[in-house]
Amino acid sequence: MTPYRQELEKYRDIDEDKILRELSPEELAQLDAELAEMDPEATVPTLPREEQVTLEPELEEALANATEAEMCDIAAILGMYTLMSNKQYYDAICSGNICNTEGINSVVQPDRYRPVPDEPPNPTDVADTLRRLQDDDPALQDVNLNNIKDIPVPTLEAICHAIKTNTHVRSLSLVATRSNDLVANAVAEMLEQNQSLQSLNLESNFITSAGMLRLLEAIGHCPTLTEIRVDNQCQRLGDTVEMAMAATLERCPALLRFGYTFTLQGPRARAAAALTRNNELRRQQKKS
């Protein structure tokens, strides 16, 4: 055992609750400030004033000089799990340097991050795009409003309304635009009339199961639509929606690509089989 580990062993049986009860208001405030700097959600409970005590110099030095991995060990010994944020704990776990993890795993759980690549700001002029859609500008074939989060819902609805009779737009992408069920309904109405759209992307939005079911009902009305992406909504869409997705792919042979991460094996298998069939039909059509 290293000298550092031997030093920490001295504090294994420390009664941290007793230490907190005996801290003065000034010391509690100082500890609260230090904990808040490490983790803004960490707080120290207010305790009645008692006689003043201070932490032993060895403990203060260990806390001041500890690395993230060593801080994990200190937290395990003292039971003060709020000394670490979830991110600090996760980083230390991944480093493989923690020797004492007993009692930690059941208390502190690491954050699960879904990596999202950074993208430059979208320079699209929303007002100008809407005007060109309403004018059926033949030069506007791809409408990309991805990551523009301040587009009002009425404007998104107006864009969908303009595409209803537009004959030139081939793709519409509204990724991460905070689109909700109102927008999903507008998209559904658009699909029921549009006869030229080929690709639709609504990923990373706030569409619920009700809005998604409405959208799925309308997909078959747009014979030119070959690709749709709806993954990563704000909430789980549920089993009923996944079954409806598989059924939609089965009854719409024009669909060749479908972007969604299924959670149920049954709908996933049905969707994969339907897409394979649809692509084979398209290949045969081109061949003939």
Note every long-range contact of 130-135, with CB atoms under 8 Å and residues 24 or more positions apart, other chains counting. 130/155, 130/158, 130/159, 130/162, 133/159, 133/162, 133/163, 133/166, 133/169, 134/162
Q: Which of 95, 116, 139 is the C-terminal boundary of a domain? A: 95
Shared domain check, 203 and 145:
yes
Q: What is the CATH number of the domain that holds 238?
A: 3.80.10.10
Quick check: is 121 in a domain?
no
Shared domain check, 142 and 10:
no
Quick check: is 104 in a domain?
no
pTM of the model: 0.59
Domain count, the chain: 2
**DSSP-derived secondary structure letter, 84:** S
Range of the structural domain that residue 80 is part of: 3-95
Quick check: is 237 in a domain?
yes
Shared domain check, 159 and 276:
yes
Over range 128-150, report the average pLDDT: 94
Shared domain check, 131 and 75:
no
Distance between CA atoms of 52 and 14, rounded to whole angstroms?
A: 17
Whether 93 shows a pLDDT value over 80: the answer reads: no
Quick check: is 180 in a domain?
yes
**DSSP-derived secondary structure letter, 205:** S
Q: Which residue has the higher pLDDT, 69 or 25?
A: 25
Over range 95-102, report the average pLDDT: 50
Phi first, then psi, for residue 144 (nearest 5°) are -120, 105
Encode pLDDT of 224-235 as tens digits. Answer: 999 999 999 988
Encode pLDDT of 20-50 as tens digits. Answer: 677 777 777 776 666 655 544 444 444 444 4
Shared domain check, 165 and 84:
no
Q: Maximum Cα–Cα distance for the chain, whole Å?
A: 92
Quick check: is 36 in a domain?
yes
Quick check: is 137 in a domain?
yes
Shared domain check, 158 and 49:
no
Shared domain check, 155 and 51:
no
Shared domain check, 21 and 131:
no
